[in-house]
Structure 1
Amino acid sequence: MSGNAALRLRLAELGLSHAELAHRVNQHIEKVTGRYGGCSQRTVRDWLNGKTAWPHQKQRASLEAVFDCTAEELGFTRRGAKRLAPQPEEDVRRRTFIASGSAAAAASAFPAPSSRTTLGASDVLRLRAGLETLHALDDHQGGHTALERAALARADQVLSSLRKGSATERVRRRLFSVAADFTAVAAWSCIDARALDDAQRHLDTCMRLAGLAQDSPAQFRAWNLIAMLNNQRGRHADAVAAAHAARVTGITRRDPMYSSLAHARTAVGQSNIGDRQAAVRSLGLANEALSRSRHEPRPSWVAFYGPAELHALTAVVHGRLGENQQAEGASHQALAMLPNQFRRNRSLITARLALAQLHQDDLELATATASTVFDLMDGAPMPGRLRTLLGDFQRDLLTLSANGRAAREWGDRYRTEWSRT
């Protein structure tokens, strides 16, 4: 195939369209420069057909961050240099990292630190490399120890570069923001795995880094995770307070999508303390804010939030309030709208749907729904939040019908799958 075969292969691996690649490159440029990049579908076509053999520096650094490899490995060549064929073993290494999530593979997947002592915009892009990969790994598999370690290693690399190099105040703030992003990935991985003490420690660090970065979206992200952590710990009043803190960060005034997420997170905390009126009001505010939201560049971590996730959180709220029919309906709406790449989220929503059906005494339908969670995860290790939900389902099922046929069949599947994951 003529043109840049290596880039074409990488694009196919990630399943990105030309427009999606241009958008991701432009997002990275905006993160560094403060201005959304100018890449278009035509730009991507020029890269693929070989018309542009060596993109300019900002685009090149952004491409390296998106694909976690060098421009040369993407098939680009400097003028006068000989084009290298794509290396199959590199593709195998990348796929191995995504499949296994091992800390060793994660370490090898990222570029080595630069020896330069003066840090600039290109260093910000270089040090952000791997963030998209970690987010994709979380969407697919969920939180686990290897993801946490990989994220912390990247955060340490960023902070080490800051300690060893000099930079303008603007670049320093952007690097603190990058470190906060990686630390937030580690914190979220622990929340998903229900390693709560580790999550708290990482969130303390994340909040400090976000403050040093003067980064409102990073501060919002930290407060959002703190609200989730407090709900897991049973500190529901503290969860409401954290969600309120997220609601008053600067980014919520500029982007109603963040405001919607903060209201939805508030509703979850309010439902946990039994305040139905407040929870329903917060859900209404979340829906109203989301209706005002427009499609615009945002950090990749927040890609999970949209109509599907709001329906999922609505199901959580109704489930907490004992309104199981409404919880079931919201779960169905969430599953119908959820993008395919969020496998872990689909599994969580399905488990909550099974609980809502079980609490309406529809045992056969509930156990059939719960069994599909194992099919969705396809033998992958289950994160702690999902294991907890299935454990709740098992306990409530045994309470309702310990000896019924549906309960026995589910119990056999539950024990078999539990031993595998």
Structure 2
Amino acid sequence: MASSTDTSAQPDRPLRPNTVFRQLRGRRSPAEFAALVRRAAREIGERVSCDARYVGRVEAGEIRCPNYAYERVFLHMFPGRTLTDLGFAPRSTVRGRGARPAAPPVAAAAHEHPRDRDAPYGAHRPYPNDPLNHEESDVLRRAFMTGTGATVAAAATLGPLGTATDASAASRRAGTSEAAAVEEAVRRIRLLDDQHGADGLYRRAAEPLRAAYALLDAGATRQTTAERLHSGAGELAISVGWLAHDSGRFDDARSHYAEALATSRMTGDAGLEAHAFCNTAFLARDAGRPREAVRAAQAAQRAARPLGSPRLMSLLALREAGGWAGLADRTGCEQALVRAQALFGRGMSDADPEWMSFYGEAELAGLEAQCWSTLGDWRRASRHARRATRLQDPHFSRNIALYTAELADDLARDGHPDEAATAGLRVLDLLAQVQSSRIQSMLAGTARVLLPHRRASGVADFLDRHASLPRPRRG
């Protein structure tokens, strides 16, 4: 395997924090700034999986010069500036490699916000004669090529990590490039799930997970690398477990979450432990084990309390609320919801885990809707579900489909078949790009409720289109 081009691995170059980039972030948290980067990338047709950890690496000086995709995004966000203006080292000085001509700056009116401007950049294309992009290892480049919009094609971008790392794991200890590849696998899976849903991704996502644990078995060159590998492998197990969970493979999901929990216990990783218990609670609720959901959510809160993230504690309180709702304990559910809202109101912080990028006002409203729905309060559930659909970032296609499906079901059960059918038709439109057995199962329940109301406006159209859906395939 070729050595990594990650400049942080060069012992003769001490890290120099990128204070300019930190100033540009301003009062936003790393997660909030990462969301702006992803949005800017979509505006110019780029694909980057930026998150709080990447922003932190830039600000710490670990990334001296971004790859070409990130370069185009940053220059789009801050028109008229060069990479050096943004605090990066000149590309020609990094690893002594020659640089391609820099992307031209974006001209824009002074009164426009950088994120509102159009940019003359097309989609990023690979350069066949170009060596590895800076800050990306051979493993990352081969494992995560830009995919197409189709779910199956997107899933194919996950597979090569296994073939790229299994052979090396058997013959040598893992280094920083392998640890980075595992971390990038987690980000890529989350990004693809946000865009396409779990069905079609699960089987392919299991390949990088096997490779990650093969790397752990081989050992690492340094203790810090070993810690990154354990944390990355645990997060990868949770991500793959979630794909199993969302595609209805509850036993597989339970196994993956247990694997992540065991990894967290071996290394004393409280953040990973809290995440594993969080997902275990969610799974238990969906699998009809509400008491287990409550216990797992409470265990997650005990693990997470020292981490200092109110947002994380808010999400875990919602997981507990879901368990209480499943037990038909309205008081326990309401108390947990009040805690969740109060903790959410404290805002974001640098202590928020990077995997929580999905958790905003929309998810808070969506999860509260699920609680009220479980308790049979359809009117209150539909109100929160409607709010969730209005607040959700368009990037999260799967969540938009999920909240809209929740809204359709709540409206149907609350006696509004015409509005339910309208929402259900919106979900059917989204299913062209989102594949989730959970969402299809919710729609099937809505269809059963609407069957006696075929004469209501739009209901027959919804029922006919729903009946023509192919059955979900597990692959």
TM range (shorter): 0.7 to 0.9
CA distance in structure 2 between the partners assigned to 1:293 and 1:130 by the alignment: 28
Counterpart for residue 192 of structure 1: 246
SS at match of 1:382: coil
CA distance in structure 2 between the partners assigned to 1:36 and 1:216 by the alignment: 26
| Distance change in 2, residues 1:75/1:241 (3 Å) | closer
Quick check: 2:195–2:433 contact (8 Å CA) kept in 1? Answer: no
Moved more, 327-336 or 405-414: 405-414
Moved more, 224-233 or 160-169: 160-169
Moved more, 92-101 or 262-271: 92-101
Matched, 1:106 2:161: no
SS at match of 2:411: helix
* Alpha-carbon shift at residue 76 of structure 1 (Å): 5.0
Counterpart for residue 216 of structure 1: 270
CA distance in structure 1 between the partners assigned to 2:82 and 2:265 by the alignment: 36
Structure 2 counterparts to residues 6-21 of structure 1, below 5 A: 12-14=44-46
Instruction: Return the TM-score normalized by structure 2.
Output: 0.70
1:401 to 453, 460, 472: 453
CA offsets, 1:96-125, max 9 Å, x none? 486424665422367823578354444422
CA distance in structure 1 between the partners assigned to 2:463 and 2:237 by the alignment: 38
* Alpha-carbon shift at residue 167 of structure 1 (Å): 3.5
Counterpart for residue 294 of structure 2: 240
Counterpart for residue 45 of structure 1: 83
SS at match of 1:417: coil
2:412 to 347, 355, 358: 358
CA distance in structure 2 between the partners assigned to 1:101 and 1:221 by the alignment: 29
Matched, 1:148 2:202: yes
SS at match of 2:334: helix
* Alpha-carbon shift at residue 11 of structure 1 (Å): 9.6
The sequence identity of aligned pairs, in percent, is: 23
| Distance change in 2, residues 1:25/1:288 (3 Å) | same
Quick check: 1:26–1:36 contact (8 Å CA) kept in 2? Answer: no
Matched, 1:415 2:470: no
Counterpart for residue 310 of structure 2: 256
Query: Which residue type is aligned with residue 436 of structure 2?
Result: P
Quick check: 1:132–1:300 contact (8 Å CA) kept in 2? Answer: no
CA distance in structure 2 between the partners assigned to 1:320 and 1:91 by the alignment: 41
* Alpha-carbon shift at residue 316 of structure 1 (Å): 0.8
Query: Which residue type is aligned with residue 217 of structure 1?
Result: G
Matched, 1:130 2:185: yes
SS at match of 1:309: helix
Query: Which residue type is aligned with residue 373 of structure 1?
Result: V
* Alpha-carbon shift at residue 352 of structure 1 (Å): 0.9
CA distance in structure 1 between the partners assigned to 2:43 and 2:93 by the alignment: 17
Matched, 1:26 2:79: no
CA distance in structure 2 between the partners assigned to 1:330 and 1:73 by the alignment: 50
Quick check: 1:119–1:165 contact (8 Å CA) kept in 2? Answer: yes
Question: Pairwise CA RMSD of aligned residues?
Answer: 3.8
Quick check: 2:64–2:94 contact (8 Å CA) kept in 1? Answer: no
Query: Which residue type is aligned with residue 410 of structure 1?
Result: F
Counterpart for residue 433 of structure 2: 380
SS at match of 1:264: helix
1:341 to 371, 381, 395: 395
| Distance change in 2, residues 1:272/1:15 (3 Å) | same
* Alpha-carbon shift at residue 36 of structure 1 (Å): 8.6
CA distance in structure 2 between the partners assigned to 1:11 and 1:117 by the alignment: 41
Quick check: 2:161–2:207 contact (8 Å CA) kept in 1? Answer: no
CA distance in structure 1 between the partners assigned to 2:332 and 2:82 by the alignment: 48
Quick check: 1:21–1:44 contact (8 Å CA) kept in 2? Answer: no
SS at match of 1:53: helix
Instruction: Return the TM-score normalized by structure 1.
Output: 0.78
* Alpha-carbon shift at residue 53 of structure 1 (Å): 3.2
Structure with bigger helix share is: 1
| Distance change in 2, residues 1:235/1:56 (3 Å) | farther
SS at match of 1:322: coil
Structure 1 unaligned runs (5+)? Answer: 1-7, 58-66, 78-89
SS at match of 2:90: coil
Aligned residue-pair number: 383
Counterpart for residue 61 of structure 1: none
Structure 2 counterparts to residues 154-233 of structure 1, below 5 A: 154-233=208-287
* Alpha-carbon shift at residue 404 of structure 1 (Å): 5.2
CA distance in structure 1 between the partners assigned to 2:396 and 2:156 by the alignment: 25
CA distance in structure 2 between the partners assigned to 1:355 and 1:22 by the alignment: 33
| Distance change in 2, residues 1:102/1:390 (3 Å) | same
| Distance change in 2, residues 1:98/1:154 (3 Å) | farther
CA offsets, 1:114-164, max 9 Å, x none? 57835444442233233221111000111125x223332222222222323
Counterpart for residue 386 of structure 2: 332
Query: Which residue type is aligned with residue 45 of structure 1?
Result: L
| Distance change in 2, residues 1:198/1:23 (3 Å) | closer
CA distance in structure 2 between the partners assigned to 1:301 and 1:344 by the alignment: 16
Counterpart for residue 64 of structure 1: none
CA distance in structure 2 between the partners assigned to 1:352 and 1:340 by the alignment: 17
| Distance change in 2, residues 1:272/1:138 (3 Å) | same
| Distance change in 2, residues 1:186/1:317 (3 Å) | same
Query: Which residue type is aligned with residue 416 of structure 1?
Result: S
Structure 2 unaligned runs (5+)? Answer: 1-39, 66-73, 97-123, 136-141
CA distance in structure 2 between the partners assigned to 1:50 and 1:98 by the alignment: 37
| Distance change in 2, residues 1:331/1:29 (3 Å) | same
CA distance in structure 2 between the partners assigned to 1:351 and 1:365 by the alignment: 12
* Alpha-carbon shift at residue 319 of structure 1 (Å): 1.3
Counterpart for residue 285 of structure 1: 339
CA distance in structure 1 between the partners assigned to 2:296 and 2:194 by the alignment: 24
CA offsets, 1:48-86, max 9 Å, x none? 9993335479xxxxxxxxx9x999556559xxxxxxxxx
CA offsets, 1:163-222, max 9 Å, x none? 234444443222111111111111000110011111112122121112223222211111
Counterpart for residue 194 of structure 2: 139
